[in-house]
């Protein structure tokens, strides 16, 4: 499952890079949470939480409904 999630994050990456941001997969927890690190412009962006929920989490949960959620770590 973790490898599939990593691949999906790689597919999301170009969308964030277009606006000067980036994303790094950190871990998939036993609680089924995906932890990522937002980088570049995304790291300090006021809209980062919306991007995380409305883009990253939405895409990942569409592909893998068992995921409990996505959270950003520093």
Bridge-based pairing of strands 33-40 and 21-28 is: antiparallel
User: What's the pLDDT score for residue 50?
Assistant: 93
User: What's the pLDDT score for residue 44?
Assistant: 82
Taking only the tens place, the pLDDT of each residue in 3-61 is 999 999 999 999 999 989 999 999 999 999 999 999 999 988 889 999 999 999 999 99
Distances (CA, A) of 65 to 20, 26, 38, 61: 29, 19, 22, 5
Domains and CATH numbers, the chain: 2-72 (3.30.300.130)
Q: pTM score, two decimals?
A: 0.91
CB 42 within 8 Å of CB 23: yes
Taking the C-alpha atoms of residue 37 and residue 25, their distance in angstroms, rounded to an integer, is 7
CA 10 to chain centre: 9
Question: pLDDT-based confidence at 74, cuts 50/70/90?
Answer: confident
Identify the three-state secondary structure at position 28: strand
User: What's the pLDDT score for residue 64?
Assistant: 96
User: What's the pLDDT score for residue 15?
Assistant: 92
């Amino acid at each position: 499952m973790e490898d599939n999630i990593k691949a999906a994050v790689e597919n999301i990456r170009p969308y964030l890079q277009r606006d000067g941001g980036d994303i790094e997969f950190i871990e998939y927890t036993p609680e089924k949470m995906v932890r990522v690190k937002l980088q570049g412009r995304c790291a300090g962006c006021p809209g980062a939480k919306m991007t995380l929920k409305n883009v990253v989490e939405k895409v990942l949960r569409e592909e893998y409904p068992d995921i409990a959620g996505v959270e950003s770590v520093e």
